[in-house]
Structure 1
Amino acid sequence: MQSKELLLEAFDRLPVLVRQALDGLDSAQLQHRPGGHGNSIAWLIWHTGRVEDAQVASASGLEQVWKAEGFVSRFGLPLADGDTGYGHSSRQVDAVRAPRELLQEYYDAVHRQTARVLEGIGDPDLDRVVDKHWNPPVTLGVRLVSILGDCLQHVGQAAYAKGLLPGSADTSGA
């Protein structure tokens, strides 16, 4: 297995996990914040897409799907166009509202761009420095693993939050 095949296998799991986290939820459930202050499922899935989108685009010299495919206007959030959710206040978390279909559509579009990027890389590309603001500088390979880790954590948090909802018994057997 080549490195890009391994990365594709890992990233290809995310759209299914996002779909499972969103499946069957209504707008109130998407906005529910566990304990009254945790991140909502809508925010977690939006943030997952934004983080992957912004970081893959930056590392690859591409425009973010968020802007290039018009999602910034389709979501119409009262946030800066480049906002990814880092450091959000409680009010900003509450401001992230979107129907599950739009959340899924955005994440799927982000995933398509990520997959195209991964299809085009070879092992030497993974050693290319993409961020000199760290010591040691961050390579593409390290950035991709970091993105994957963040996304898996956030989608897992969304799945956990879904399981906390009344009447949302997990029937997957997992």
Structure 2
Amino acid sequence: MHRGQITDAELYNDARELWGIAAECQIPEVETQTIDHETLGSVGVIKLPSRGLRSLSGSLKLQYPDDEFHRKMLRPNRAVSLHLHEKVDLFDIDGYDEGASTTLITSMRCLFSKVSSGAGKLGDARDLSGDFTTTYFMQRATNSNIPLIEVNLFSKIYRVNGENVW
């Protein structure tokens, strides 16, 4: 059995330029909407999944943010492409397991609705935070070419492990 921890989380743009170090990132929860089904003579109500997902919302807090990224976050009507690289170090009974450790890459197209430049305190790292919704969301480990999950709301794509859900 492995135990793991996130040791670093860097944020990049499409050109693979570093935009900052994530201090916190609330990755969107993928929640399927459900429909109640109750028929004549049934003994109960069953909730079955619909084809729709709830809003994909999240938040982000960066340390040492790039000024260009800050400008992009302030445009609520323009999507920003983000690529979060979370280094996941895994340990087993013998210690660090380099072969099992990986980087989880989360790619998103975000529309920021709230941006905070944080409070300035002498000696503290500059930070930047924001709340967003995303129209595209994909996660994959670097040791696999198949995404764990991929959702593209405009293209009507919803895949888990490379296979269409619907």
Does 1 or 2 have the higher relative contact order (CA < 8 Å, sep 6+)? 1
| TM-score past 0.5 threshold | no
Structure exhibiting the larger radius of gyration computed from Cα positions: 2
TM-score by length of 2: 0.21
Structure showing the higher strand proportion among its residues: 2
